A and B are shown apart, each in its own frame.
Chain A
């Protein structure tokens, strides 16, 4: 049986039943892009949560193969196991069946060797640290374990300047707006230098205008660096414009029911939101989500 996560692309405007392997690496066009992504393999992963005397079947035989430098979004109704899957990959939650590898290592090994960068729902900045020191937080801990060097001070400053925080390096989080705090959180995630980044609805608490701005900022950061990203979201436009693949998950138990390979060229921009392919992908994902909800 073919996994829904590995469908093929035939070059035509996508339909819900078509899919496809990616025709090009998802890194930015141009030679300046550096691809440091690592593969992530999720095979037959199942997870249960104990609920008193019973068990909640959170994930059911999830199979996903993610190529190095690929941007994959997980979308689905609440309770379908998106965040659980993300935490399983990140080594933050144990799983009962199947195998997960990050660049050939178990999630726990990947965590210990700092191969995974994590961006939680909230910016989670330390209030007593300035912007500059919040960005370097993850690099400061577990130094011995890291097998990938974190970004240097100059690179971090460049990143902060590129996201418009160059004038706020010595400000405290409480002096920043919600959007600015989220930008710091994103830069912190990238500054770790980990090949795989896991993002759990990082823009969910932002207003629509800021959220829209943030998704292009994330695109810009990612297209310049080429990390492997697993992105959890509830927003279809966000998933489609950002991703190489959008995986639709169903609930009870959580599983992947549809994989939408996004055929939009890179680098992407806001103008592509009028592209027929973008709209077709949106329709496909929406239809798939509708089917999931109707079950």
Chain B
């Protein structure tokens, strides 16, 4: 005897109907709005704390007053932001390029790996800020001391992550390619490099902030007369509190925007990777 499934279900329920779910675009929109919600909450608490406890403007101005100041001086901040952005971007690019070359050699040779590790540990243990005056002596009052400080800040995370990514190859896939005598170059381009991209993007996001920190430290210690590091330093020495905090806000804003742009690229490039799945997993044809 055949029985209709709906006849067996409890009265008023329809077993053929899937459980209600929020549409995909709603879930994506919610994910996009989430970081803004976090920022608004932090700023609201800050604003509330300063106003309620009547904190001195010299100690901590309200976020609203800082924002007003920045909006009133767009040309000033834009001019200095361009300098810092240029130094940070160049340092970021240099570190990325150098780490790709070094990590590739390290991933392919145990000897290179072992000989590179002490240098990496040495760089990692050295407070990079102290290199700024050294670079100033070497390169004078040019962009290069700041660019190099930014590059040194980014180099280690890039190299370590890229090396780990290049080495973390699925052994079965590696063996599969070896079974048809794929060359090292083919294995690199078809397997190692694409598989290392999640590691590279992870380092890339971390290094966005680090490159800005490097550029700012370079400006502060490198005898600079331009850039947001310089405006912050001048603000601190002359008690221009709005300028000090304005520089910090603009730096943070640049960092956030750069991270958002990088995240957008990452979403596109790594759409195959599980890190890009929304909660609930991919839409599998199962």
Contacts and interface: CB of A to CB of B under 8 A. Distances in A.
Interface of A: 90-92, 111-112, 114, 116-118, 120-122, 124, 126-128, 137-138, 140-142, 145, 168, 171-177, 180, 192, 198
A141 B182 contact: yes
B274 A174 contact: yes
Given A92-B175, A114-B181, 18 more contacts: A90-B179, A111-B181, A120-B172, A120-B176, A124-B170, A137-B177, A137-B190, A138-B177, A140-B190, A141-B177, A141-B180, A141-B182, A141-B186, A142-B181, A145-B180, A176-B285, A177-B284, A180-B285
Contacts of B194: 126, 128
Contacts of A174: 272, 274, 277, 282, 284
A192 to B, nearest CB: 7
A168 B283 CA distance: 13
Contacts of B176: 118, 120, 124, 138
A121 B171 CA distance: 11
A176 B284 contact: yes
A126 B191 contact: yes
Contacts of B274: 174
Nearest to A176: B285
Contacts of B285: 168, 171, 175-177, 180
Contacts of A175: 282-285
B280 to A, nearest CB: 13
Contacts of A173: 272
B273 interface: yes
Contacts of B183: 141-142
B173 interface: yes
Interface residues of B, number: 27
B179 A111 contact: yes
Nearest to A189: B176
B173 to A, nearest CB: 4
Given A120-B176, A124-B176, A172 B181 contact: no
B286 interface: yes
25 contacts: A91-B179, A120-B172, A124-B170, A124-B173, A126-B173, A126-B191, A128-B194, A128-B272, A137-B177, A138-B176, A140-B190, A141-B180, A141-B186, A142-B186, A145-B181, A168-B285, A172-B272, A174-B272, A174-B284, A175-B282, A177-B284, A177-B285, A177-B286, A192-B180, A198-B179
A171 B181 CA distance: 27
Interface string B189-224: 011001100000000000000000000000000000
A160 to B, nearest CB: 14
Contacts of B177: 137-138, 141
- Of A114, A141, A177, A192, chain B has the most CB atoms within 10 Å of the CB of A141
Contacts of A126: 173, 190-191, 194-195
B3 to A, nearest CB: 23
Contacts of A92: 175, 178-179
Nearest to A174: B282
A125 to B, nearest CB: 8
A129 to B, nearest CB: 8
Nearest to A118: B179
Interface of A (DSSP majority class) = loop
A151 B226 CA distance: 63
Interface in B25-81: none
Contacts of B277: 174
B173 A138 contact: no
B180 A142 contact: yes
A138 B272 contact: no
A145 B183 CA distance: 11
B164 to A, nearest CB: 17
A17 B164 CA distance: 54
A117 B181 CA distance: 11
Sorted from nearest, which 4 A-B pairs have the closest CB atoms? A118-B179, A141-B182, A177-B286, A120-B172
Nearest to A119: B176
A198 B179 CA distance: 10
A127 B273 contact: yes
Nearest to A90: B179
A116 B179 contact: yes
A168 B285 CA distance: 9
B188 to A, nearest CB: 11
A121 B102 CA distance: 33
Interface string B260-275: 0000000000011110
Given A141-B182, A142-B183, A145-B181, A118 B272 contact: no
A65 to B, nearest CB: 22
A107 to B, nearest CB: 10
Nearest to B185: A141
Contacts of A121: 172
Nearest to B270: A128
Contacts of B173: 120, 124, 126
A110 B172 CA distance: 20
A180 B284 CA distance: 10
A140 B277 CA distance: 29
A285 B175 CA distance: 30
